[in-house]
Structure 1
Amino acid sequence: MSDPAVKLIGCFGSPVVHRAEVALRLKGVPYELITEDLNNKSELLLKHNPVHQKVPVLLHGDRPAICESLVIVEYVNEAFDGPTLMPSDPLAHATARFWASFMDNECGESMWVALWTDGKAQAAAARETKANLTLIEGQLPKGKRFFGGDAINYLDIALSWIAHWMGVFEEISGVRLLTKEEHPALCRWACEYTADETVRQCIPDRDRVVAALTPRKELYISIAKAMVAHE
């Protein structure tokens, strides 16, 4: 089933918008991408995501808007025909959702502090991040290209932040967290993911992302410092 009445409110260079885009493309769903200026949010965004006022937001016909990237991925998987993005086995399904949550919460917070702080806080966060990456790497099926086996699935999409954007943030911050020496399988997966033909259609140019996000460095530092202060 294809539905041209699908619109995605997003913005350039966002890893969470990429999650929604790649899910739509993997399912073969035509969609219109509406690019938002987050410094001057549109009435469309404010209307459809009044709670968080963030992207991505999926609009599907006259249905209520769907917000939050991983919620959108699950909705797209269930609402449209095409290759399944979720494991059919209930335990595998639950496990994939657990590791996706781990990425966005425990792993994501330690990564952010490791990238944008210094001193003891940075060193502790870097150790935690590398340990978390080891745990994530352990979820890769041996001999398979993706977390989903031979094809990209929900967990690959959830972890796509690592595959493309982590290197961008490492370049901007000057901090290296993911290396071939420490996490060879995860680095191989990142290369496989970003080289996939469907993924390449909606992955933003790395140099353009670096240029777009570098001016936000001071903001990222202030957010990381606030995280440390609240621990």
Structure 2
Amino acid sequence: MASQQEVKLYGSWRSGFSRRVVIALKLRGMPYGFVEEDTQNKSADLLKYNPVHQKIPVLVHNGKPIAESQIILEYIDETWPGYPLLPQEPYDRAMARFWAKFIDDKCLKSVVKASWGPVDEQEKAFEEVQENLSFLEEEIQGKKFFGGERVGFVDIVGNVIGYYLGAIEEALGQEMLTKEKHPCLYEWAHEYTSCNIIKENHPPRDRSVDYFRPQIQASRASN
């Protein structure tokens, strides 16, 4: 079994990708050290450990770095015993990876485009957000969490919808996920953010809003 010693996470308090890894480590009961990175002035260690993308998060286990949040989650799931993140059945595992990839490749990108993108493209981007949320709405129907009765891999990746989207909406002054349009997904977001381990390991909502608001305002002013 792999050693549980010398685990460090290079990340940032405001990064949803970093928070994914924090949540997974907390669920797993893994002790670790957190290194707060300034993404505008990246440390020599970060550049050494992730020379390809030069981004957070990076998990360093016994001196060996693993980059990219979803890959890190799978590494955590495979390396240490405890709370399972991915399902046991191969098909269910494949579907979890599919939806996690969908969240990052489709949902998150459309939210970013609708919030920070060119003004003349935002209406179309909002339509894309609604379409993508509708796919998640259909997938979550009849389930408490994407992983079933408790938080799993897709739920953790979905923190960009479950937690961060609300802060972005408040900073933007416009709703995207509503109880009327996506009732099951809306309820899932409430369940997710109500979990103690989630509440305890995400930044306060107002702090996130204060971070996003000037970014969005600056982006819109430049467009």
TM-score range, shorter chain: over 0.9
Question: Which residue does the alignment assign to 1:73?
Answer: 73
Query: RMSD of the alignment, in Å?
Result: 2.0
Equivalent residues in 2 for 1:1-231 (5 A)? 3-62=4-63, 64-117=64-117, 121-142=121-142, 144-217=143-216
Closer/same/farther in 2, CA of residues 219 and 176 from structure 1, 3 Å limit: same
| Cα distance in 2, alignment partners of residues 177 and 13 from structure 1 | 21
The Cα shift of 1:4 comes to: 4.0
1:12, distance to aligned residue in structure 2 (A): 1.3
- Note closer, same or farther for the CA distance 1:164–1:44 as it changes in structure 2 (3 Å cut): same
Task: Please give the alpha-carbon distance, in whole angstroms, between the structure 2 residues aligned to 1:67 and 1:49.
Answer: 7
Consecutive unaligned residues of structure 2, counting only runs of 5 or more, are none
Contact 1:170/1:177, CA 8 A, preserved across alignment = yes
Distance 1:89 1:172 in 2: 40
Counterparts of 2:53 and 2:221, CA distance in 1: 20
Deviations 1:14-44 (A, max 9, x none): 1100111111111111111111111211111
Shift of the alpha carbon at 1:51?
A: 1.2
- Whether contact under 8 Å (2:13, 2:19) holds in the other structure is no
Alpha-carbon contact 2:141-2:184 (below 8 Å) kept: no
Q: Is the partner of 1:38 in helix, strand or coil?
A: coil
- Paired position in structure 2 for 1:228: none
Describe the shift of the 1:196–1:220 C-alpha distance in structure 2 as closer, same or farther (beyond 3 A): farther
The amino acid across from 2:185 in the alignment is L
1:141/1:147 contact within 8 Å kept: no
Q: CA deviation at 1:218?
A: 5.5
Q: Is the 8 A contact 1:46 1:53 kept in 2?
A: yes
| Residue 117 to residue 44, structure 1, CA distance change in 2 (3 Å) | closer
AA matched with 2:34: L
In structure 2, how many angstroms separate the alpha carbons of the residues matched to 1:91 and 1:166?
29
Q: What's the TM-score once normalised by structure 2's chain length?
A: 0.92
Whether the 8 Å CA contact 2:50–2:58 is kept in 1: the answer is yes
Query: In 1, distance between residues paired with 2:212 and 2:129?
Result: 22
SS in 2 for 1:100: helix
CA distance in 2 between partners of 1:219 and 1:49 (Å): 29
Tell me, yes or no, if the aligned pair for 1:22 and 1:198 is still in contact at 8 Å: yes
Rounded to whole Å, the distance in 1 between the matches of 2:124 and 2:140 is 26
Q: Distance in 1 between matches of 2:124 and 2:75?
A: 37
> Is 2:140–2:146's contact at 8 Å kept on the other side of the alignment?
yes
d(CA) in 1 for partners of 2:221, 2:34: 31
Cα distance in 2, alignment partners of residues 119 and 35 from structure 1: 33
Return the offset for 1:53: 1.1
Q: Secondary structure at the match of 2:59?
A: strand
List alignment gaps of at least 5 residues for structure 1.
226-231
Mapped partners of 2:210, 2:5: distance in 1: 32
CA drift of 1:216 comes to 2.5
Equivalences, count: 222
Distance 1:67 1:118, change over 3 A: closer
Identity among equivalent positions (%) equals: 41
Q: How far 1:121 moved relative to its partner?
A: 2.0
